[in-house]
Amino acid sequence: MLGSDLWPNPLTDREAGYWMMVGLNGTGQLSREGVDRMYHIGFANASAGGIAKTLQDFSPLGSLTQSAAGGALPGRDYAATLFCDTLRREYGANYGKRPPKIRNPESPSTLEIFQYHTAFADVIGRARAYLLVPGDRKFDDPSMISLDRKEIGRLIGPSDLVSVRCGPLSHIAMVYSVDRQAGTVGFVDGLFEYWQPTHNNCITQFDLAQFKHGGYLARVALNDLVPMIQGVITLRDRAPGRRGAASTNDYVTVDSFQQSEFFQFFNLHELIEEPVGAQSIIRYMTGGFQQHVYLSVRADSRRRIEEAVLILNRPWLGARDRLNPMANDIAKSFLGAFAPAASAQSVAAIARAIWQRDAAPAGDAAAALSVLRGDRQRSSIELPSGTLTFENVLDSPPSPFFGRL
């Protein structure tokens, strides 16, 4: 958004943050950590606690999406919502302007289009494609889900691709908007003639609405659309929400962490969950100081946390006798939230020294504080349930120091 502050009507911080995050989803060039860093900056622009309001104001999806189909169909977190906005915007911006480079002799099937979106979402890594099919057929692929036709109609939303058929005529188009109160669906569709009642005897209500990128939105009645549906391709979270094992002396679970005082007090929310083999990496965002605080956990298939990482921006954290009290509070609370019961007593002494900024700590607390203050590169402390590591790492590029706990 370079130079946007010089426009005749400059973007607000929230607008700039939103469009920066939308732009991030159009590329697979950045590492997951790089995207995580940029998301934090974008969220910081949108202001603490303002992310939901930002999506409500600027995203046609309006807000985050809840899971459905008894949990088989995941909801959408921030990353998946913004990825949908990216695809819909790209589709809309090129509506009627970019002809295909290659024209195949036959049109692709709904399954082939679904496979394409699956592959593309996997490369970018922000969402996962699901195919909703009317009926009760059972599929081996968990991303293909059979549902009642009316339930599919209830779930249709912006960015979904809807495959329809009326007699011998089949078609697929992207949903741009759904007006539940008026009972209409708007499509970004260069072949809007398909929806005209003069061409399609399944349609009784049709009109064209001016589209801001040029051309028109084809608008039809939802009641006409639902009986025609052959399948709906929808983008959702990569990992569905699920409950796992209970916390034990040796483990803290994702579920217990998300119910902790640390999680609530610092207004944490999940940014994205990325499956990595049988494990998953979950990245979180704090309610404030998003450009300075980075938190992620690695959990096993039973949602037991095997590693928790907190990264603090060194200029914000401070050094030696000028440590930021808020950073101290986050570091101390992080240790308390993730220490399993078997290690709680050992970790409590270190957390207490960090919070009190002990001038003359002893033992493990001394080693930990020396790293936190910037006097020492690294310290690892063996605990009954694992290892606690404090480390100063050089981030390149750019090159501020970060403290990693």
Residues 344 and 280 in one domain: yes
Query: In this structure, is residue 18 part of a structural domain?
Result: no
pLDDT, average across residues 373-384:
88
Query: In this structure, is residue 336 part of a structural domain?
Result: yes
Query: Half-sphere exposure of 12 toward its Cβ, with a 13 Å CA cutoff?
Result: 9
Q: How confident is the model at residue 83 (pLDDT cuts 50, 70, 90)?
A: confident
Identify the H or E element spanning 66: none
| Average pLDDT over all residues of the chain | 81
Query: Which pLDDT value is given to residue 35?
Result: 65
- CA angle (88 as vertex; 156, 284 as ends), nearest 5: 85
- CA 160/CA 179 separation, integer angstroms: 14
Residues 227 and 349 in one domain: no
Query: Domain span at residue 373?
Result: 254-404
Condensed to tens digits (0 to 9), the pLDDT of residues 388-401 reads 999 888 654 333 33
CB-CB contact of 73 with 145 (8 Å): yes
Residues 385 and 317 in one domain: yes
Least confident of 212-221, 362-371, 387-396: 387-396
Query: Which pLDDT value is given to residue 269?
Result: 80
Residues 400 and 288 in one domain: yes
Q: How confident is the model at residue 50 (pLDDT cuts 50, 70, 90)?
A: low
Residues 222 and 339 in one domain: no
Query: Which pLDDT value is given to residue 358?
Result: 63
- CA 62/CA 64 separation, integer angstroms: 7
Residues 227 and 169 in one domain: yes
- CA 171/CA 228 separation, integer angstroms: 10
Query: Which pLDDT value is given to residue 80?
Result: 82
Residues 281 and 213 in one domain: no
Residues 144 and 220 in one domain: yes
Query: In this structure, is residue 46 part of a structural domain?
Result: no
Query: Which pLDDT value is given to residue 33?
Result: 63
What is the pairing mode between strands 293-299 and 305-313? antiparallel
283: pLDDT strictly greater than 80 = yes
Query: In this structure, is residue 76 part of a structural domain?
Result: no
- DSSP for 90-145 reads HHHHTTTT---S---SSPPPHHHHHHHHHHHHHHH-S-EEEEEEES----SSTTEE
Condensed to tens digits (0 to 9), the pLDDT of residues 172-191 reads 999 998 999 999 999 988 88
Residues 112 and 230 in one domain: yes
Query: In this structure, is residue 78 part of a structural domain?
Result: no
Q: Which of 205, 236, 267 is the last residue of a domain?
A: 236
Number of independent structural domains in the chain: 2
Residues 273 and 167 in one domain: no
Residues 204 and 274 in one domain: no
Q: How confident is the model at residue 48 (pLDDT cuts 50, 70, 90)?
A: very low
What is the pairing mode between strands 128-134 and 144-147? parallel
- Note the pTM of the prediction, 2 decimals: 0.69
